[in-house]
Amino acid sequence: MHEQVLCALCDKPEIDCKCDRYCWFCKGQYNIRMCVDGQYYCPDCREACDVRVVDSLGR
């Protein structure tokens, strides 16, 4: 089962989210993806925080 993760700011899934995407941790704007806690992370902070990127396609 694919669990829908919603944006912490607008309560929409990543594909529908129109928020400005930047890393909530370091404010970086490169390669930002929503992670399983509903926050956006850059690759570095993702690794540092050990969070998984949401697979919005449910594959």
Residue ranges that bind Zn ion, judged by CB under 5 A: 7, 9-10, 17, 19, 23, 25-26, 28, 42, 45
Contact 50, 37 (CB under 8 A): no
Task: Kindly state the helix (H) or strand (E) to which residue 34 belongs, with its residue range.
Answer: strand 33-34
- Measured from the CB atom, the residue of 9 and 51 that comes closer to Zn ion is 9
Contact 38, 45 (CB under 8 A): no
- Measured from the CB atom, the residue of 9 and 55 that comes closer to Zn ion is 9
Min separation Cβ 56 and Zn ion, Å = 12
Contact 8, 38 (CB under 8 A): yes
Min separation Cβ 2 and Zn ion, Å = 19
